[in-house]
Amino acid sequence: MNAIGWPDWRRLNQEGIVFAIAVVLFIAAAICLPGFFAADNLVAIVRSVSVLGILALGMALVIIGRGIDLSAVAIMAMSVAWYLQLLNAGTPDGLAFAYVLAGVLAIGLLNGFLVAYADVPAIFVTLATGSFVFGYVRSQLITQDAVPVPQGHWVELLGGLRFLDIPIEVFVFAALAFLVFLFLRFTKWGRFIYFAGDNPVAARNIGIPVRPMLVLRYVLSAVVALVAGLLTAASLHSINTRVVNSTLLYDIVLVAVIGGIGLSGGRGGVRNVLVGAALIGILLNAMTIIDIPLLYQNLIKAAILLGAIIVDGIINPRDEQTAQQGDI
């Protein structure tokens, strides 16, 4: 990568490979599939990966800092399900939202605290908190898998919002991507994330507040998940907590990793998320237009993930000097 941050095309890295695949797929689909290159369909592609992309932005922040957040989908679905349940039970909107926001922040803080100060590997912490959030909310706070949005509530109106015929999710995705980009590139703490992710011990030795920053990343990831959940509910007029059992979590990791954000930390940025999301969006849309059955879609998607991970392993080899036990 050169100074401006554009990919260096002489050295093909994973992002470059994936970007090339996405472009080739896009051109092939535009030529072969009638209706693919229509403005509406292009908007639909971006929209179909907006929520996924938003979640992947949160995940990217965590992964760059050498972590992972497996509780993202649980936080997304359960926070919004609880919010809607409160509303349906007649709790005032402001109060209900305050409860839910407090809950989301608390889980983010808990994740961050356990990883940063208790030194428990992120993969175990977030797996556990994700299960806890799902189990607690599902058994104690809501009565149904699916919770509807109350009629006429702002979440429902949000789903109908359009600018220039483009759904609101697309703008939220774009705005969040831009914010994360600014954070990672132009703020001190954003730059520090790369140092901390690349070599946490060295980062700490030069005086970077590694632990508070870690906590912040998990909190940000949790808040991003809440936003993604609200957008999902806005579009579907309900939230179904079954999504916690779906492959969504793996798809989020897929988008981040396939775009070239190394799981060993310290590498990648918003652009990688966008490239990963673009590939997945084009792929899914084209496969749906061709009418490929879901089983084969999953197979194709999985094969691409596997390929990306192998390429990642070859291009970004594990750094034996800074790797430590408990890494993912």
Of the two residues 116 and 280, which places its CB atom closer to another protein in the complex? 280
Distance between CA atoms of 23 and 11, rounded to whole angstroms?
Answer: 18
Considering only 285, 301, 305, 316, the residue that binds another protein (CB under 8 A) is 285
Considering only 93, 145, 319, 327, the residue that binds another protein (CB under 8 A) is 145
* Burial per residue of 83-101, b for 16 or more beta-carbon CB atoms within 10 angstroms, e otherwise: bbbbbbeeeeeeebbebbe
SS3 at position 44: helix
Q: How many CB atoms lie within 10 A of CB 233?
A: 26
Q: From 13-21, 104-112, 271-279, 281-289, give the range in contact with another protein by CB under 8 A.
A: 281-289
Of the two residues 61 and 73, which places its CB atom closer to another protein in the complex? 73
Considering only 118, 164, 206, 294, the residue that binds another protein (CB under 8 A) is 294
Q: From 68-76, 200-208, 233-241, 304-312, give the range in contact with another protein by CB under 8 A.
A: 233-241
> Per rule CB under 8 A, is residue 293 in the interface with another protein?
yes
- Region 21-40 residues binding another protein, contact defined as CB under 8 A: 34-35, 38, 40
With contact defined as beta carbons under 8 Å apart, do 277 and 327 qualify?
A: no
> Per rule CB under 8 A, is residue 235 in the interface with another protein?
yes
Q: From 102-110, 216-224, 235-243, 315-323, give the range in contact with another protein by CB under 8 A.
A: 235-243
- Region 64-93 residues binding another protein, contact defined as CB under 8 A: none
Distance between CA atoms of 316 and 50, rounded to whole angstroms?
Answer: 28
Minimum CB separation of residue 52 from another protein in Å reads 9
Considering only 18, 21, 46, 51, the residue that binds another protein (CB under 8 A) is 51
Residue 82: CA atoms inside 13 Å, Cβ hemisphere, count?
26
* Of the candidates 2, 10, 21, 1, the residue with the CA atom closest to the CA atom of residue 259: 21
With contact defined as beta carbons under 8 Å apart, do 25 and 279 qualify?
A: yes
Q: How many CB atoms lie within 10 A of CB 234?
A: 24
* Of the candidates 200, 179, 183, 199, the residue with the CA atom closest to the CA atom of residue 191: 183
With contact defined as beta carbons under 8 Å apart, do 226 and 96 qualify?
A: no
Of the two residues 295 and 314, which places its CB atom closer to another protein in the complex? 295
Considering only 5, 28, 98, 144, the residue that binds another protein (CB under 8 A) is 144
Of the two residues 34 and 94, which places its CB atom closer to another protein in the complex? 34
| Structure tokens that stand for 299 in this block | 């197979």
Q: From 109-117, 136-144, 179-187, 194-202, give the range in contact with another protein by CB under 8 A.
A: 136-144
Q: Provide the β-strand partners of residue 163.
A: 166
Instruction: Estimate to the nearest angstrom the gap between the alpha carbon of 65 and the chain centroid.
Output: 14
Binding residues with another protein: total (CB under 8 A): 37
- Contact residues toward another protein (CB under 8 A) are 34-35, 38, 40-41, 44, 47-48, 51, 138, 143-146, 148, 159-160, 167, 232, 235-238, 240-243, 245-246, 284-285, 288-289, 291, 293-295
